[in-house]
Amino acid sequence: MMYGLPVDFVPTGYDPSLFMLAGYLLGLLATLILGAIVLGILTLPAFFLVLFGVEQLASVVAHLSGAFAAKLVVIMFRGLRRAPLRTSLTYVALFSLTFVLCLIYAVLFLINYVTAEKEANFKAIVTHKTLIPSQMPPGYYEEFKRVCLEELPPELRPVNGDLDLMSWSFVLTTTDKTNPRRDALIFLFALEPNKVLTMMDGLEELTGDERQQLQAAADEMMRNPQAIVMSKRQLKTLNLQVGQRVKSYGMNYPNLTFEFEIIGELPEGRYEGVAFMNRVYLLQLLDAYRNDRTVNKTGEPHPMAEKCVNLMWVRLPNRMAFERLSALINDPKYFGKVPIKMETASSGIGSWLAAYKDIFWGMKYILVPAMIAIMSLVVANAISISVRERRTEMAVLKVLGFQPRHVLALVLGEALLVGFLAGIMSSGLAWGALGSFKFQIMFFGSFFVPVQSLIYAPALGMTVAVAGSIGPAWNAKNVKVAEVFARLS
């Protein structure tokens, strides 16, 4: 069984990257929400320290200036400090909301980025014209390289020649043939290792030791077709280490047995959950299958032998080169056997993500509003309790000369302060942490929290805080002094 389905159900040649993305997104979202709540609780001491520090500053300003507004701010701080449990609940709720939304924003920001065309690094992607997942003969890649390097005018050819072309084949294997459970799966990109550092988004910009280590691994993979590099997450999931050999069995390449030697790790935060292998090894196994009578009684080619290339990539100097090459691709004399199409990389990735447009739509228009609504209710409930408990205090303030608008400002100010601090602390933590800790979905580059989230998150925190507190604040404004003291008497 595989994810509750018989192994035979897994279709030959299916695209495992599509199969895994939804699971990554849902699992990542659940982890983020739980992690955000835990982080909110852990940062409570820092929140109260900041609150105390700002209160002392406000007290000094109020004492020196004698300004009424400064005194009102001091009262606001003391009100927050007198109900630490409810203040903590409000803070954790707003922290969790803004932290998770920062990371959701990071996902959507990167998706918008990779689906936007870039003239300086103009990449195109070639896929099967009608088949999903794309499957093309391996000979098409050789012909595609020839067309790019010989048929295009010299000024429109890839600047770095063959190094600006690459093919991908998606390979899903399992280390447990009888029970291919999730923690036994190995998802690999079969590619040309010498082009990893020139053609793979997220790896091109590597520097220092990371680049040197990956370059050394790529050189070794060129010498040894069975060598592979794995992400740290996959190594941990499989309980494997660099230097070990691993035997696995093809899932979308049935009846193929892979014997890999793990020679290195992918940089942390890049291509998590996947591994890179040499496409030469895949082609060798497909060729050997024809003559292996233990698994192939008829001597027929492997079912995937003529459809083992999923994607072909090319970096072109400009859009004119893309349009010229696209015209050649559509010429039947070059690629007449299997219809293929060429798109800009941004368009191709957008098409690939189309299957998940409902997930992203739901994230933007259902999940985010739902979280905002829930947190607004939490804030409203916490502040309503606080207002009910402080009715006497509100009445005393009015007796002392505070106007209803001052009471309204006091309650709203408390909520705004907590919302601002929760937003700035969560976004600062998310933005700072993801500078060294990166998370990733499939072959997208590492996700990062954009710097503008440092503005958006506090603004969102304050907006939600006001939305949740406007009702209780209005009730506090309308507290009747006579009624309150009549009950006390």
Residue 112: the pLDDT is 67
Distance CA 462, CA 449 (A): 20
E-strand ranges in 103-203 read 123-128, 165-174, 185-191
Q: What is the structure's pLDDT at 434?
A: 58
Report helix angle 84-114 to 44-65, nearest 10. Answer: 110
What's the helix, strand, coil split of the chain in %, to 5?
A: 60, 15, 25
Cα three-residue angle 177-28-174, rounded to 5 degrees: 10
Give whole-number Cα distances, 164 to 74, 312, 328, 345, in Å.
63, 11, 18, 13
DSSP 479: -
Confidence at residue 5, expressed as pLDDT on a 0 to 100 scale: 34
Our measurement of the distance from residue 341's CA atom to the centroid of its chain's CA atoms, rounded to an integer in Å, reads: 28
CB burial of residue 223 (10 Å; 0-12, 13-18, 19+): exposed
Residues of the chain with pLDDT under 70: 1-29, 110-121, 269, 345-360, 433-448, 483-489
Domain spans in the chain, listed from the N-terminal domain onward: 15-115+357-488, 123-356
Residue 181, pLDDT score? 84
Burial of 464 (0-12, 13-18, 19+ CB in 10 A): buried
**DSSP 8-state class, residue 461:** H
